[in-house]
């Protein structure tokens, strides 16, 4: 046995109390800082969203707070702007806004991950020790689960990681009847009162999506539970599952460690559906005796299945920020440009602004809001007094960088009697497509036009429209990309959702983060989120304009508008 092998065995034995294990393979590390930098003057490159210097990025992996720093790991292709050659890249931050790149943390090196190091999660073990469970692709192209830990626990940057010589720790076999091509993306593990760790792996059996559970006493030797934590017929592959507790009492916004449970706790199960490429979540109860999750409403109720984000958003992951006692949500936003355009610009993919996430006081849904740290980038504020906006009126928001800004606006609606009537239920995204910003209505559309060109040949509209449905007022929130670009090679899908607010008794609030090629919008103080990627050809740099508008026949009142230009973050 070599000295390095003895070191690895001793290290894992010390941390996990195991005896001698097989030898680990060599771990090759790429140097991210040696990569050349593409010009930040590209019109579509973001200024304050997370993205690496170049190449392909997708899922956030293993985020955690450790040693006074936030650590972001992410799926990355060091060789190009398309998916492939996947490693875990690594960046650190003091504030979730400004990021410093480090060498890659996990790259193919063992038989258990020789064909790729796919998504996974961080767990903080007793004593504050981080551990990563992640999916590797073995020589047979089977998906298996592996473990890596920091080589030096005293290094706050966690620059070097070593893999368990016992990898893979979990693998599909004929005996466990797990599909070897549908077994991936382990969650953060949680510790039960019985002393066993539990972790979920996304999978499917035929068309039934599943969150397969494994248990372990020492975090190395894992045994499959008899039943999944939860499953649902017809949902397909469950990627990137996430399972965590939320506080069901004041203060709702407080986050909880993943292992916490109790009378004042509900649980959230999130899955990324491979068939739809959307992130859905269920709120419910966790039966610890049966290791079973019972959702308040399940996937069979299509109208009630909630999403984190109703736009372009996938493969999200949360972590508990014990430094500020909150749960943080991170998500991947793919491009809407063509592959040829991605290769030309040399990069593909960004992450959304980190969001604090908590249970709404109603208990019916989650609330999301950009982390407060992003506000340190605000500058040159513009404030409007309350003003009435007549039907058909368009008001320019001057004095703000229209391609790099943060805008908060609230509307008051006093006349709803003439609202359009919906005689049957319709998918809100389809409704937004049919009733876009250019379609004048009775009460709405009203909201913001962003990335707008002179003469409005290009614009992206984020707006509200009010309907009557079964004698109730129904608020539709849309992000309309149908006129966002003259480049028809782009995906210009329009997105939408219904917003759970009472427009007669609540302000209709909208916060929109605008950043060169991304529009993140938060309606109803974070009850609904829509993220869009847009690539205008005319409305770029100083040619872009920002407007508030009302294209309905009924006047509305802007009760508040606050807008800021945003400074550029030190982002990789």
Active site residues: 59, 138
| Contact assessment for residue 151 and residue 110, using Cβ atoms and an 8 Å cutoff | no
Convert 139-194 into a string of H (helix), E (strand) and C (coil). Answer: CCCCEEEEEEEECCCCCCCCCCEEECCCCCCECCCCCCCCCCCCEECCCCCEECCC
Q: Quick one: DSSP state of residue 24? A: P
Number of Cβ within 10 Å of residue 298's Cβ equals: 14
- Tokens representing residue 398 in the block: 């001057």
Q: Rounded to an integer, what distance in angstroms lies between the CA atom of residue 148 and that of residue 11? A: 11
**Cβ partners under 8 Å of residue 6, min gap 6:** none
| Cα(310)–Cα(251) distance, integer angstroms | 27
Q: Within the chain, what is the greatest distance between any pair of CA atoms?
A: 81
Q: Contact at 8 Å (CB) between 572 and 463?
A: no
**Tokens 């009142």 sit at which residue?**
557
Query: What residues contact residue 170 under an 8 Å CB cut-off, 6+ apart?
Result: 144, 145, 186, 201, 214, 222, 224
Q: Which long-range contacts (CB under 8 A, 24 or more apart) does 417-421 make?
A: 418/442, 418/443, 418/553, 418/554, 419/443, 419/466, 419/467, 419/468, 419/473, 420/465, 420/467, 420/468, 421/467, 421/468, 421/469
Q: Closest Cα to residue 283, out of 265, 295, 291?
A: 295
Q: How far apart are CA 74 and CA 89, in angstroms?
A: 5
Q: Residue 223 CA to chain centroid, in angstroms?
A: 30
Could you count the other beta carbons within 10 Å of the beta carbon of residue 155?
Answer: 12
Measure the CA angle with vertex 197, ends 196 and 202; round to 5°: 135
Tokens of 407: 């805008």
| 254 and 358 Cβ atoms separated by less than 8 Å | yes
CA–CA gap between residue 455 and residue 452 (Å, rounded): 8
Tokens 């001057």 correspond to 398
């Amino acid at each position: 046995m070599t000295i390095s092998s003895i070191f690895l065995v001793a290290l894992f034995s010390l941390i996990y109390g195991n005896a001698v294990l097989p030898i680990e393979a060599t771990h090759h590390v790429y140097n991210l800082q040696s990569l050349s930098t593409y010009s930040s003057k590209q019109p579509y490159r973001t200024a304050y969203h997370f993205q690496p210097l170049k190449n392909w990025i997708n899922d956030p992996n293993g985020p955690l707070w450790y040693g006074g720093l936030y650590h972001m790991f992410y799926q990355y292709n060091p060789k190009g702007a398309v998916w492939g050659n996947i490693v875990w890249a690594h960046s650190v931050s003091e504030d979730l806004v400004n990021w410093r790149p480090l060498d890659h943390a996990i790259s193919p090196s063992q038989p258990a991950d020789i064909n790729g190091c796919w998504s996974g999660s961080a767990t903080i073990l007793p004593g504050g020790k981080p551990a990563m469970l992640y999916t590797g692709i073995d020589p047979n192209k089977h998906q298996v689960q592996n473990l890596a830990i920091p080589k030096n626990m005293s290094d706050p940057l966690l620059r070097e990681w070593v893999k368990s010589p016992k990898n893979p720790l979990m693998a599909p076999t004929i005996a466990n009847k797990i599909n070897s091509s549908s077994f991936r993306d382990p969650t953060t593990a949680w510790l039960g009162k019985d002393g066993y760790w539990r972790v979920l792996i996304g999978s499917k059996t035929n068309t039934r999506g599943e969150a397969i559970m494994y248990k372990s006493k020492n975090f190395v030797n894992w045994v499959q539970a008899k039943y999944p934590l939860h499953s649902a017929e017809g949902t397909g592959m469950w990627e990137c599952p996430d399972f965590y507790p939320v506080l069901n009492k004041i203060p709702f916004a407080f986050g909880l460690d993943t292992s916490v449970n109790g009378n004042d706790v509900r649980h959230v199960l999130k899955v990324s559906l491979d068939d739809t490429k959307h992130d859905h979540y269920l709120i419910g109860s966790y039966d610890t005796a049966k290791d079973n999750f019972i959702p308040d409403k399940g996937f069979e109720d299509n109208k009630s299945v909630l999403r984190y984000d109703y736009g372009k958003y996938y493969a999200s992951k949360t972590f508990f920020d014990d430094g500020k006692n909150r749960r943080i949500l991170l998500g991947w936003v793919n491009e809407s440009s063509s592959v040829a355009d991605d290769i030309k610009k040399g990069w593909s993919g960004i992450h959304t602004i980190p969001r604090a996430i908590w249970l709404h006081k109603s208990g019916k849904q989650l609330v999301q809001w950009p982390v407060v740290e992003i506000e340190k980038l605000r500058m040159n504020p513009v404030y409007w007094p309350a003003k009435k906006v007549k039907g058909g009126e368009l008001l320019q928001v001057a004095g703000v960088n229209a391609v790099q800004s943060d805008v908060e606006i609230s509307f008051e609606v006093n006349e709803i009697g003439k609202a359009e009537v919906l005689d049957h239920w319709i998918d809100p995204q389809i409704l937004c497509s049919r009733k876009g910003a250019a379609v004048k209505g009775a009460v709405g559309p009203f909201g913001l036009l962003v990335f707008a060109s002179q003469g409005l040949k290009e614009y992206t509209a984020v707006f509200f429209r009010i309907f009557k449905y079964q004698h109730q007022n129904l608020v539709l929130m849309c992000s309309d990309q149908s006129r966002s670009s003259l480049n028809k090679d782009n995906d210009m899908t329009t997105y939408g959702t219904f917003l759970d607010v009472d427009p007669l008794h609540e302000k209709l609030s909208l916060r929109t983060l605008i950043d060169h090629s991304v529009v993140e919008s938060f309606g109803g103080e974070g009850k609904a989120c829509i993220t869009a990627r847009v690539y205008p050809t005319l409305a770029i740099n100083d040619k872009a304009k920002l407007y508030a508008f009302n294209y309905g026949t009924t006047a509305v009142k802007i009760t508040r508008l606050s807008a800021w230009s945003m400074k550029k973050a030190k982002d990789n």
